[in-house]
Chain A
Amino acid sequence: MAEVLVAVEHAGETPKKVTLELLTLARSLGEPSAVVLGGPGDTEKLVDRLGEYGAVRVYAAEHEDLDGYLVAPKATVLAGLVRSINPAAVLLPSTQEGKEIAGRLAVKLDNGLLTDVVDLAADGTATQPVFAGSVIVTAKVTKGLPLVTVRPNSVTPSQAPVAPMVSTVEVELTDADRLVRVVERRAEQKGTRPELTEASVVVAGGRGVGSAENFALVEELADLLGGAVGASRAATDSGYYPHQFQVGQTGKTVSPQLYIALGISGAIQHRAGMQTSRTIVAVNKDAEAPIFELADFGVVGDLFTVVPQVVEEIRKRK
Chain B
Amino acid sequence: MNIVVLVKQVPDSGSERRLRDDDYTVDRESASNIINEMDEYAIEEALRLREAYGGEVTILTMGPARSVESIRKALSMGPDKAVHVQDDALAGSCALGTSRALAAAIRTLSPDLVLAGAESTDGRVQAMPHMLAERLGFAALTGARKLTVQDGTLTVERQTEEGYEVVTAATPAVVSVWDTINEPRYPNFKGIMEAKKKPVTTLGLAELGLAAGEVGSAGATSTVLAARNRPERQGGTKITDEGAGGTKLVEFLASEKFV
**Interface residues, chain A, with chain B CB atoms under 8 Å away:** 11, 70-72, 75, 95-96, 99-104, 106-108, 110-116, 125, 129-144, 176, 179-188, 195, 197, 201, 225, 243-244, 249-250, 257-258, 268-269, 272, 275, 279-281, 283, 287, 292-302, 305-314, 317
Given A180-B168, A180-B169, A186-B163, decide whether A296 and B237 contact each other with a Cβ distance below 8 A.
yes
Bound Cα distance A125, B38 (Å): 31
Contact status B246-A292, CB under 8 Å: no
Q: Which residues of B contact A114 (CB under 8 A)?
A: 222
A103-B134, A142-B223, A179-B169 known; 5 new pairs, CB 8 Å cut-off, are: A113-B127, A115-B125, A275-B233, A299-B240, A306-B241
Q: List 11 A-B contacts (CB under 8 A).
A: A70-B167, A113-B221, A115-B126, A134-B229, A136-B228, A188-B163, A249-B121, A295-B236, A296-B236, A299-B240, A300-B241
The stretch among B59-67, B106-114, B135-143 that forms the contact with chain A is B135-143
Chain B 1-31, CB within 8 Å of chain A: the 1/0 string?
0000000000001100111000010000000
Q: Looking at the assembled complex, report how far the CB atom of B209 sits from the nearest CB atom of chain A, in whole angstroms.
A: 17
**B185 adjacent to chain A (CB < 8 Å):** no
Contact status B239-A298, CB under 8 Å: yes
Q: Which residues of B contact A131 (CB under 8 A)?
A: 13, 17-18, 122
Bound Cα distance A295, B127 (Å): 33
Contact status A136-B227, CB under 8 Å: yes
Q: Looking at the assembled complex, report how far the CB atom of A234 sits from the nearest CB atom of chain B, in whole angstroms.
A: 13
Contact status B164-A314, CB under 8 Å: no
Contact status A297-B237, CB under 8 Å: yes
**B95 adjacent to chain A (CB < 8 Å):** yes
Contact status A138-B240, CB under 8 Å: no
Q: Which of B155, B180, B246, B258 lies in contact with A258, CB distance below 8 A? A: B258
Given A95-B161, A99-B127, decide whether A141 and B245 contact each other with a Cβ distance below 8 A.
no
Chain B 130-160, CB within 8 Å of chain A: the 1/0 string?
1101110111111101000000000100011
Given A103-B128, A114-B222, A142-B222, decide whether A295 and B235 contact each other with a Cβ distance below 8 A.
yes
Q: Which of A75, A137, A309, A317 lies in contact with B226, CB distance below 8 A? A: A137
Residue total for B at the interface (Cβ-Cβ under 8 A): 83
Contact status A300-B238, CB under 8 Å: yes
Contact status B230-A135, CB under 8 Å: yes
Bound Cα distance A136, B236 (Å): 23
Q: Which of B19, B134, B253 lies in contact with A135, CB distance below 8 A? A: B19
Q: Considering the complex of A and B, which 7 residue pairs feature the smallest CB-CB distances, nearest first? A: A309-B246, A103-B127, A301-B241, A112-B221, A188-B163, A179-B139, A143-B221
Given A106-B127, A243-B159, A297-B236, decide whether A186 and B228 contact each other with a Cβ distance below 8 A.
no
Given A107-B96, A112-B94, A125-B225, decide whether A299 and B245 contact each other with a Cβ distance below 8 A.
yes
Q: Which of B99, B129, B137, B166 lies in contact with A184, CB distance below 8 A? A: B166
> Binding site of A, secondary structure by majority: helix, strand, loop or mixed?
mixed
Given A134-B229, A144-B221, A292-B235, decide whether A313 and B180 contact each other with a Cβ distance below 8 A.
no
Q: Which of A106, A272, A307 lies in contact with B131, CB distance below 8 A? A: A106
**B165 adjacent to chain A (CB < 8 Å):** yes
Contact status A107-B135, CB under 8 Å: yes
Bound Cα distance A134, B154 (Å): 39
Bound Cα distance A104, B125 (Å): 12
Q: Which residues of B contact A185 (CB under 8 A)?
A: 160, 162-163, 165-166
Q: Which of B127, B155, B256 lies in contact with A102, CB distance below 8 A? A: B127
Contact status A182-B167, CB under 8 Å: yes
Q: Which residues of B contact A144 (CB under 8 A)?
A: 221
Bound Cα distance A116, B245 (Å): 37
Q: Which residues of A contact B145 (CB under 8 A)?
A: 243
Contact status A180-B141, CB under 8 Å: yes
Q: Which residues of B contact A257 (CB under 8 A)?
A: 258
Contact status A314-B127, CB under 8 Å: no
Contact status A299-B222, CB under 8 Å: no
Bound Cα distance A166, B45 (Å): 46
Q: Looking at the assembled complex, report how far the CB atom of A273 sits from the nearest CB atom of chain B, in whole angstroms.
A: 11
Bound Cα distance A228, B72 (Å): 42
Residue of A at shortest CB range from B128? Answer: A103
Q: Which residues of B contact A181 (CB under 8 A)?
A: 167-169
